[in-house]
Amino acid sequence: MDKNIYHVPYVYGKMDGRGTVSVRVPGSKSITNRALLLAMLADGPCTLTGALFSDDSRYLQQCIADLGFGIEADEERAEVRVEGLGGRLPVREASLYVGSAGTAARFLTALLGLKKGAWHLDSSEQMKRRPMLPLLQSLQELGTRVEYQGQEGHFPFTLYPGNNGRQDIAVNIEHSSQFLSALLIAACCAERSLDIRVEGTHGMAYIDMTLRMMEQFGVKAEKRGGDCFHMEAGQIYRHQEYAIEPDVSAACYFYGMAAILGIEVLVPGVHFGS
């Protein structure tokens, strides 16, 4: 069977001699965006394979470049190479545009809120309507000054991190678990160890994904009780070649095809424990 029979960008299928259809699907958006940030914070060059190229990931890649990092993308090979600097930022001031990318908006805000400098962040009109206040309030507890250029708790704003904040903070995730994921990933870049207490609930599946990927890059968060995470300062993300898992939602369409047509379908790279 010609592999182009199912062809759309990053999706193709072919049949082997045993009648099994092998279908490659795009990488997971959630894993791609987390991996990009972890690679940026790693202690050397990282190559991400199987990456998804979407509006969200492209905005995040552009922001990484605008922060002064070396980054090269090969969309045809679905690979991105990021030159990490061990948690250091090449610049002390930058203007970033996150578009409508919620992951980029939350993750970069948390990171830059812990890095001394002046960080100007703006977004699309759609993103300006989405909540940011819980994350910004957590950063203010850590000593970050927030200057709003529009409505309080929304883009655009400028961050001026300080060092007189608390070591124990709270974050409300009632609207989005990304607030907690963002703080967890960035916390090891703080000058002091942090305790992050969680308020509200928005499901923990994406938090589990974040913690698992942090550990894969060499940084561990310690859970204390049911609603608190301890992040030890001084931990460094390790550089590596990292394979991004395919998007399981996309894979499920082809698994459904297997059941309907009575054939075998293989989607390479999907983990049983996903």
Query: Going by DSSP bridges, is the β-strand pair 45-49/79-83 parallel, antiparallel, or unpaired?
Result: antiparallel
pTM: 0.90
pLDDT band (50, 70, 90) for residue 17: low
How far is the first Cα of the chain from the last one, in angstroms, to the nearest whole number? 29
Secondary structure class of 179 (helix, strand, coil): helix
Q: Do the bridges between strand 228-231 and strand 194-199 make them parallel or antiparallel, or are there none, so unpaired?
A: antiparallel
pLDDT in tens, 87-127: 999 999 999 999 999 999 999 999 999 999 999 999 999 99
The answer, yes or no, to whether the previous bond of 268 is cis (omega within 30 of 0) is: no
Q: Which of 28, 27, 23 is nearest to 266 (CA)?
A: 23
Helices (H), 123-247: 125-128, 133-141, 178-187, 205-216
Domains, the chain, in order of start with CATH, read: 29-243 (3.65.10.10)
Q: What pLDDT is stored for residue 12 in this prediction?
A: 52
Q: How is the beta sheet containing 12-15 ordered, strand by strand? A: 12-15, 20-24, 264-266
pLDDT over threshold 70, residue 11: no
CA distance 116 to 96: 16
Of the CA atoms within 13 Å of residue 202, those in its CB half-sphere come to: 15
Q: How many other β-carbons are positioned within 10 Å of the β-carbon of residue 7?
A: 11
